[in-house]
């Protein structure tokens, strides 16, 4: 064993003398990987032939962001739309009943146009104010999530305003025999204005802003269907854009 080591040493020396380059006897002396600065990060180059990810569309980001909206804000949206409806329902309770009043004199005419329950009338206005202010705040807070705004603010607000209009008309034709007093007229104006604003915002966000985002998503990913039992199904619109292109030099 002792004669083998000098033989290897002599062979290495003779090889280095012929080539002019030193020969290392340890594997650790060979080429070592270059050290990187600790602040430098290595990124994997993207695949240019990768199909478009569903995470790259604005519509999908809105849907995923629904889980990130605090539950308290969802509860507040339900509360504000409900308290708006409560104010609309309380308004008809302030109408003066005309069953025992014949508005023939000036005094009786004033009684007809007077508010039957002033505290209830004030509470109704407070409820409407709180509901409208809260809905406007949530609209400003989540103004870029069109899906949440339509489903949580505008559409429920529209339905509640329509409910207020129906309730007011029922009381006018049932209690006041179809005669509109000052209180019933103000109630109709408030509920109709709320329904008009909520309806216009619902149409604008659902048929314009949300529809444009959804159309762009369908062009990139495909048209989404609910499926037979809600399992979800995607119909490709631009299948050529989604197919992987063959790499150069490959058959």
Does residue 245 form part of some domain? no
Q: Is residue 249 part of a domain?
A: no
Does any domain span residue 170? yes
The tally of domains found in the chain comes to 1
Range of the domain at 204: 61-220
183-238 per-position pLDDT tens digit: 888 889 999 999 999 999 999 999 999 999 988 887 777 777 777 877 777 765 54
Q: Tell whether 43 is covered by a domain.
A: no
Residue 82 maps to a domain: yes
79 domain residue, yes or no: yes
What is the pLDDT confidence band of residue 148, given thresholds at 50, 70 and 90?
very high
Distances (CA, A) of 125 to 30, 122, 217, 231: 85, 5, 43, 45
Q: Please write the tens of the pLDDT for every residue from 112-128.
A: 455 556 788 889 999 99
Does pTM surpass 0.85?
no
Stretch 152-177: mean pLDDT, rounded? 91
The reply to whether 21 falls in a domain is no
Of 60 and 248, the one with more pLDDT: 60
Tell whether 3 is covered by a domain. no
């Amino acid at each position: 064993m002792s004669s083998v080591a000098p033989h290897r040493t002599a062979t290495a020396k003779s090889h280095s003398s012929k080539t002019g380059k030193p020969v290392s006897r340890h594997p650790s002396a060979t080429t070592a990987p270059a050290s990187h600065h600790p602040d430098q990060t290595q990124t994997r180059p993207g695949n240019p032939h990768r199909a478009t990810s569903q995470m790259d569309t604005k519509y999908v980001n809105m849907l995923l962001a629904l889980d990130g909206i605090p539950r308290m804000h969802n509860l507040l949206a339900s509360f504000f739309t409900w308290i708006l409806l409560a104010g609309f329902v309380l308004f008809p309770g302030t109408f003066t009943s005309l069953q025992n009043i014949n508005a023939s004199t000036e005094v009786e005419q004033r009684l007809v146009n007077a508010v039957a329950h002033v505290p209830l009338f004030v509470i109704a206005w407070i409820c409407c104010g709180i509901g409208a202010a809260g809905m406007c705040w949530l609209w400003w807070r989540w103004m870029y999530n069109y899906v949440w705004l339509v489903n949580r603010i505008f559409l429920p607000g529209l339905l509640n305003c329509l409910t207020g209009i129906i309730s007011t008309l029922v009381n006018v034709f049932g209690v006041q025999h179809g005669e509109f007093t000052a209180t019933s007229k103000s109630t109709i104006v408030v509920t109709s204005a709320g329904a008009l604003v909520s309806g216009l915002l619902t149409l604008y966000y659902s048929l314009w802003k949300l529809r444009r985002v959804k159309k762009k998503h369908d062009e990139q990913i495909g048209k989404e269907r609910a499926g037979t039992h809600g399992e979800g199904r995607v119909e490709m619109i631009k299948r050529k854009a989604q197919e992987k292109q063959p790499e150069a030099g490959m058959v």
